[in-house]
Amino acid sequence: MNTQWKLRFGTAYDKTPVQDQFRTPRLPDESRVWLAVGTQWQFSKQGALDFGYAHEFVDDASSNLPNLDPAPPPGFTASPKGNLVGNYKASVNILGIQLRYSF
């Protein structure tokens, strides 16, 4: 914008490494799109202050995992029944502030 202020922005696509058949409630990951904006204020020759914000738009995910436990664990009389079925929605907001001073 000028010698004291810089404006930054960007976008990214982040493909999930988690395949559908391996998605669990512990790792409900899915692909996402990042949008980010930021600014830098150079308040002196040696110092600058940076502000940044990013939002991740995460695709909805789902799982349908079969019960693979054929026998009850010790102390239980019956195995769990049914599948683990779930739908997951997520979004992420990231805020960053940085002070830089060179000497």
| Residues 88 and 60 sit within 8 Å (Cβ to Cβ) | yes
Beta bridge partners of 57: 33, 91
The model's pLDDT over 50-80, given as tens digits with 9 standing for 90+, comes to: 999 999 999 999 888 887 766 677 777 666 6
| Residue type for position 59 | D
Is the pTM higher than 0.75?
Answer: no
Give the pLDDT band (50/70/90) at residue 39. very high
